[in-house]
């Protein structure tokens, strides 16, 4: 029989061994130095499946310390099943404090959303990225996309936007709208809705991106120019929720969830960001991200 002792291994603080953590930190520094550039890294296997946030975990676990407060969200919700599982895992291996409150958190790991609440220079947002390569849909092979980035050869990317416009009268890109970072690299913002894309621009906080399966890290440092790809006459636009209202709060200047009721016909809308929604319900004071798109909507309301 196997002796129990054999399997009774204790894991390192924050699970990942120190050598690999160092590697990830070094690569993150490189990513911060070259905003929008994808840095390859070792991406060790985690006890979480590939495609389920391993890249985000690598980043979080490499930067977290005992004094950090972690918030973990998936599709805007703290209570989403996978967010719970990942939060438990980080908590179990680091003993860090966890929170649902966006303001309290020092590290926010997210899948597919930026919080509605404005983030400060004391906060880091970590994105889980399924496909870090924005050029993948115009070029399948990686050795070619690497060259295209190196030489700023982005005409094909622009051409797909043009072709979509010709076909549908709009660029039609939904979540994961490609952005130009610091005037140099086209970057995938991870599949966040267009609503969130303008909040990457000139932010107070640091945004870090981890793509575990594809083994790439990248970053948008604070106060970096991030522009969605748009033509001079065909502009980027965020999702339109002007005709609906949140069932719980009546608010609609936020990204909304559309929920079909059991009758299969009626739809109700709710503010997607669960913590933001809670704060609206509790009538707490909350500072929202501001950008020109949100401003325009708010101006129109007045």
Three-state SS string over the chain comes to CCCHHHHCCCCECCECCHHHHHHHHHHHHHHHHCCCCCEECCCCCCCCCCCCCHHHHHHHHHHCCCCCEEEEEECCECCCHHHHHHHHHHHHHHCCEECCCCCCCCEEEEECCCCCECCCCCCEEEEECCCCCCCCCCCCCHHHHHHHHHCCCCHHHHHHHHHHHHHHCCCCCCCCCCEEECCCEEECCCCCCCCCHHHHCCCCCEEEEEECCCCEEEEECCCCCEEECCCCCCCCCCCCCCCCCECCCCCCCCCEEEEECCCCCCEEEEECCHHHHHHHHCCCCCCECCCHHHHHHHHHHC
Question: Does residue 127 bind other proteins (CB under 8 A)?
Answer: no
Q: How far is the CB of 122 from other proteins (least distance, A)?
A: 26
Residues 133-162 that bind other proteins (CB under 8 A): 141-143, 146-147, 151-153, 155-156, 158-159, 162
Question: Does residue 99 bind other proteins (CB under 8 A)?
Answer: no
Is 195 in contact with 255 (CB distance < 8 Å)?
yes
Member of 213, 247, 253, 293 binding other proteins (CB under 8 A): 213
User: In the complex with other proteins, which residue's Cβ is closer, 26 or 122?
Assistant: 26
Q: How far is the CB of 78 from other proteins (least distance, A)?
A: 8
Member of 74, 116, 117, 133 binding other proteins (CB under 8 A): 74
User: In the complex with other proteins, which residue's Cβ is closer, 143 or 263?
Assistant: 143
C-alpha angle 58/64/65, rounded to 5°? 150
Member of 239, 247, 252, 286 binding other proteins (CB under 8 A): 239
Scanning 81-89, 179-187, 220-228, 279-287 for contacts with other proteins by CB under 8 A, the matching segment is 81-89
User: In the complex with other proteins, which residue's Cβ is closer, 104 or 230?
Assistant: 230
Member of 77, 102, 109, 123 binding other proteins (CB under 8 A): 77
Member of 41, 207, 218, 276 binding other proteins (CB under 8 A): 41
Q: How far is the CB of 268 from other proteins (least distance, A)?
A: 11
Residues 242-301 that bind other proteins (CB under 8 A): 255-259, 272, 274
Scanning 59-67, 199-207, 232-240, 288-296 for contacts with other proteins by CB under 8 A, the matching segment is 232-240
Member of 31, 57, 61, 83 binding other proteins (CB under 8 A): 83
């Amino acid at each position: 029989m196997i002796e129990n002792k054999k399997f009774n291994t204790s894991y390192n603080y924050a699970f990942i061994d120190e050598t690999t953590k160092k590697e990830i930190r070094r690569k993150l520094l490189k990513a911060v130095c070259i905003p929008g550039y994808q840095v390859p890294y070792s991406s060790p296997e985690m006890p979480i499946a590939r495609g389920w946030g391993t890249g985000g975990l690598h980043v979080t676990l490499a930067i977290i310390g005992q004094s950090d407060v972690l918030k973990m969200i998936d599709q805007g919700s703290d209570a989403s099943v996978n967010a719970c599982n990942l939060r438990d895992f980080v908590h179990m291996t680091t003993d860090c404090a966890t929170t649902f409150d966006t303001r309290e958190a020092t590290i926010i790991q997210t899948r597919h959303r930026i919080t509605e609440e404005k983030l400060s220079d004391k906060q880091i947002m970590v994105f889980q990225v399924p496909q870090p390569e924005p050029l993948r849909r115009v070029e399948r092979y990686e050795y070619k996309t690497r060259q295209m980035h190196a030489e700023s050869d982005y005409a094909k990317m622009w051409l797909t936007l043009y072709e979509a416009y010709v076909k549908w009268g709009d660029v039609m890109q939904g979540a994961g709208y490609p952005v130009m970072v610091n005037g140099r690299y086209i970057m995938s913002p991870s599949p966040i809705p267009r609503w969130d894309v303008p909040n990457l621009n000139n932010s107070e906080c640091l945004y870090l991106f981890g793509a575990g399966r594809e083994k790439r890290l990248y970053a948008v440092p604070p106060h970096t120019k991030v522009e969605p790809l748009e033509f001079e006459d065909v502009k980027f636009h965020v999702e339109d929720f002007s005709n609906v209202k949140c069932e719980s709060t009546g608010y609609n200047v936020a990204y909304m969830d559309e929920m079909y009721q059991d009758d299969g016909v009626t739809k109700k809308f709710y503010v997607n960001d669960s913590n933001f929604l809670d704060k609206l319900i509790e009538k707490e004071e909350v500072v929202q991200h501001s950008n020109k798109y949100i401003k325009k909507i708010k101006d129109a309301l007045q």
